[in-house]
Amino acid sequence: MFFGLTIEKLLLIGVIAALIIGPERLPRYAESLARLTKRAKETMQGAKTRMRDEMGPEFDEVDWRKLDPRQYDPRRIIREALLDDTPTATMRAAGAAALATQAPVDKPTFVVGEKPPFDDEAT
């Protein structure tokens, strides 16, 4: 269950709460708990529907278990990255490859003593 709570612990908490609240107020509290649970369920259902509407058909294709933060294990991530056969391009390598594929740009030549061009819109 959640946060180490078992059925026995939840039952014990319920019995203690019933003893503290008393038989007169218990139905009122049970009703408000039921309303809160129903409202939380409706909110979660609404969020899921909104997410499905915004994402479109890709919503059903997402592997939600893979995005679960409890699946985060840094040792596994590093192991998979080190054992990965396909090298991934770094930003520096990607930038160098982009520069290498560009056509050389003709730079204007300036004559000594000539005024360089001035751009009014620059800084």
Say whether pTM exceeds 0.85: no
Using DSSP, how many helices (H) and how many strands (E) does the chain show? Answer: 4, 0
What is the C-alpha to C-alpha distance for residues 107 and 3, in angstroms, rounded to an integer? 66
Contact 102, 96 (CB under 8 A): no
Contact 43, 51 (CB under 8 A): no
The tokens 């679960």 sit on which residue? 68
100-109: pLDDT as tens digits: 676 666 777 7
The tokens 């990255």 sit on which residue? 81
6-43: pLDDT as tens digits: 899 989 988 998 899 888 898 898 899 999 999 999 99
What is the C-alpha to C-alpha distance for residues 79 and 57, in angstroms, rounded to an integer? 33
Residue 83, classed as helix, strand or coil, is: helix
Q: What is the greatest pairwise CA distance in the chain?
A: 99
